[in-house]
Structure 1
Amino acid sequence: MRRVYHHFEGRAVTMGLLVDGSALTGSVQSVDWGAVCYDLLGVIPDNIYGGWIEMGWLRNTFPEPGNDLTEVERIRYARAYILEMIGGYLIPDLSRNLVHLRWLLKLVDFRRI
């Protein structure tokens, strides 16, 4: 376990959080968002706008699941549903039509979440 530090005006400030593994820090602008979506959702959105995707795409691509889903399909659906909740209710953009894929990176290890 190690502590998470935040760099502020040239100083490292401890956040008091213990982390087991790597922390997501820095910029995510160089991420291949299509690859992230394929790995975590199993599909690539038609349009990715600088890391943002349309909420409607999530709803259309991941409709209400049936009972015959595999475990992988259930996890992908859950990721899409959580991403939709984040973009629609918790941290919406001004239009509530887009959600940033950086939140999907928080859902990589679904079992720990």
Structure 2
Amino acid sequence: MLRVCVHGLRYQSDERIFLYLDATRFRIAALIWMFQLRADLITTIVERWHLETHTFHLPCGECTITLEDVALQLGLLVDSDAVTSSSKMFKTAVLCYQLLRNSPSDGETRLTNLKFSWLKENFKTLLSSASEWEKMCATRAYILQLIGGTYAGQR
């Protein structure tokens, strides 16, 4: 049985960032934030996965989930550069500041990760006078939480 862990956002995004979510094609993904995961069903489907053929063996035959399937279901772009390995960046705190205009200050000289709690604490609420740049930063933080919020592991 797989153990499914969801680090859900547990908050609705500010409507003012929907324009940016639309531009990045993440709005649909943001709107499916409430869902029920069934570990028993996920375990069953994983057990039917055949690594050598990259397909599921189901009673109705073989099938697989393609990138095109994901693109059609979520409306996400799939024709850009892929991220395939760990980053070798040496100034991650600088990059974090450039993209979010904020960076965790936990005393580390080298930023190695962003915690969901930090993202939520710093980007959950937008001021009524938020600038376009602040809205873009909040959108980036929201997307980071969407992407990193779910994983499945062995129990």
TM-score, normalised to structure 2, is: 0.38
Matched residue of 1:53: which SS? coil
Q: Which residue of 2 aligns with 1:45?
A: 104
CA-CA distance at 1:64 after TM superposition: 2.1
Q: Which residue of 1 aligns with 2:89?
A: 30
Do the aligned partners of 2:104 and 2:118 also contact (CA within 8 Å) in 1? yes
* Count of residues in Structure 1 that have an aligned counterpart in Structure 2: 74
The 1-side partners of 2:119 and 2:152 are apart by: 15
Tell me which protein shows more helix as a share of its residues: 2
CA-CA distance at 1:28 after TM superposition: 1.2
Counterpart selection for 2:135 from 69, 74, 82: 74
Matched residue of 2:134: which SS? helix
The 2-side partners of 1:88 and 1:23 are apart by: 19
The 2-side partners of 1:87 and 1:73 are apart by: 21
The 2-side partners of 1:87 and 1:18 are apart by: 21
1:73-108 Cα distance to aligned partner (Å, 9 max, x none): 00001001111111113xx487xxxxxxxxxxxxxx
Unaligned 5+ runs, structure 1:
1-16, 95-113
Q: Report the structure number with the largest CA radius of gyration.
A: 2
The 2-side partners of 1:39 and 1:75 are apart by: 12
Unaligned 5+ runs, structure 2:
1-77
Runs of 4+ aligned structure 1 residues displaced above 2 Å come to: 22-27, 46-51
The 2-side partners of 1:50 and 1:18 are apart by: 30
The 2-side partners of 1:61 and 1:27 are apart by: 25
The 1-side partners of 2:93 and 2:152 are apart by: 21
Query: Percent identity of the aligned residues?
Result: 28
Q: Which residue of 2 aligns with 1:103?
A: none
The 2-side partners of 1:86 and 1:58 are apart by: 13
1:56-83 Cα distance to aligned partner (Å, 9 max, x none): 0001111222332110000001001111
Q: Which residue of 1 aligns with 2:149?
A: 88
Do the aligned partners of 1:87 and 1:93 also contact (CA within 8 Å) in 2? no
